[in-house]
Amino acid sequence: MEAFNISPDLLCLQEEGFSFRHTLHKIPESSGAEFKTAAFCQNILKQCGYTITTYEGFTGFIANLQAPSANAPTIAIRADMDALEMPDLTQNEHTSTHQGLAHNCGHDLHMAIALLSALYISKHAQKLTCNVRLIFQMAEEKTHIPGADKMVELGCMNEVDEVYALHNNAALDYGSIEIKEGVMSSYGSIWQLDIKGKAAHSSTPHLGLDALREGVRIVADMDYIISKCINPFHTAVFSCGSFHSGTIANGVADSAILKGSLRAMDKQSDEILKNALKNIESQSAIRGFDSHFSFHSYPAIINHPLCVQKLLKAAKSVLKNHSMITYPCSPMSASEDFSHMINAAPQNKGAMYFLGSGNAQKGICNYLHSNPYYVEDKAILIGAQIWINLIFGNE
């Protein structure tokens, strides 16, 4: 770790931080069902003197540590808890013990960083000039299960002045930082299209309404919308990832269910895409079909300039080689519900950055949601030191 300025006190806690991740990696849980995960994290935080607030019926919780001053501002840090519904193909002593579930988005790393930061901060609480709130969020991965939006509704952002989050990226070497002001992620929606037609024998197609063919037409229409209705200097993506229709070879399908996603890097393009889908609904009705689109959407993460500068200062204090910081970076085309928390902060004060968690020398270079998904444990120390610097003002 010679390339990084890591506090000696934090280095002494290194093995605990690594152990946090290894334990969490072994017990991945699906969105909204992070019971063991939440219990593990709460137990550690209680031992560190944090006050835990839970929400009935939900696994998400917050942990608070008060500064000595009565009028101190509150800084919040978000860590997401859920895993992915896929097998864990890693092969080591902390491979998932929960069949069909894996931390292949690195949320175990996010939690370990938050827990290690919490442990260090609790040992230096007398120096705090701000209150610390750790938000352990359920269900980041699935748009149809309440996640950040529900936690905001339940009060996780009450009395918070600024909110921060990180996301790991094992395609980057540990210690690499990517951050920018403004739009950091796309406006994203998961859509579902339900089409109802009329069944018939394939020898008499004129007596039916072919829902399968209608679905194909609609997907083709959306490709046209992207190419002809979106400003070519703007980025937008339409995808159909699931198409289920028909059960027999010699029949006209009477129904179809399609699922996919929309991504746009600006609000105007996002609205154009959604309106286009609604217009396609009406066009489908003219052809005799009963078609309905439903959406689950994330707003874009828009990093506040002041918060970005605070994160940059915190990161530069850790990294001796500032060339490892990409600023401004390109925004990610994926979406993240952390945007709900930023939007709930006063003056939308909040920011997210990307932390490298790979190690090319060890062959660790994975893309999010790939399998197997290995990370470099040393990223835990770097991420924790950045949070610590942010909380203590880079002292």
Read off the pLDDT of residues 317-363 as tens digits, 9 standing for 90 and up.
999 999 999 999 999 988 999 999 999 999 999 999 999 999 999 99
Backbone angles phi, psi at 221, to 5 degrees: -60, -40
Task: Match domain 187-298 to its CATH number in 1.25.40.10, 1.10.3080.10, 3.90.1150.10, 3.30.70.360.
Answer: 3.30.70.360
Sheet with 255-264, edge to edge strand ranges: 236-245, 255-264, 187-196, 290-298
Q: Note the pLDDT of residue 110.
A: 99
- Taking domain 8-185+300-392, whether its CATH number is 1.20.58.410 is answered by no
Ligand-binding site membership of 141 (annotated) = yes
22 among annotated binding-site residues: no
Read off φ and ψ for residue 144, nearest 5 degrees: -85, -5
Q: What is the reported pTM?
A: 0.92
Residues 111-121: tens digit of each pLDDT: 999 999 999 99
pLDDT value of residue 278: 85
Q: Please report, for the chain, the start and end positions of each structural domain, with discontinuous segments joined by +.
A: 8-185+300-392, 187-298
Q: Any known ligand binding at 167?
A: yes
- Encode pLDDT of 229-267 as tens digits: 899 999 999 999 999 999 999 999 999 999 999 999 999
Question: Does 105 belong to an annotated binding site?
Answer: yes
Tell me if 322 is assigned to a ligand binding site.
Answer: no
Beta bridge partners of 251: 201
List the single range of 62-76, 152-166, 218-232, 355-369 with lowest mean pLDDT. 218-232
Q: Report the C-alpha gap between 158 and 344 in whole angstroms.
A: 9
How many C-alpha atoms does 23 have within 13 Å on its Cβ side?
A: 16
Alpha helices, H only, 62-198? 107-123, 148-154
pLDDT reported for residue 45: 99
What's the rounded Cα separation, in Å, for the pair 143 and 147?
A: 8
Measured distance CA(47)–CA(44) in Å, rounded: 5
Radius of gyration from C-alpha coordinates of the chain? 23
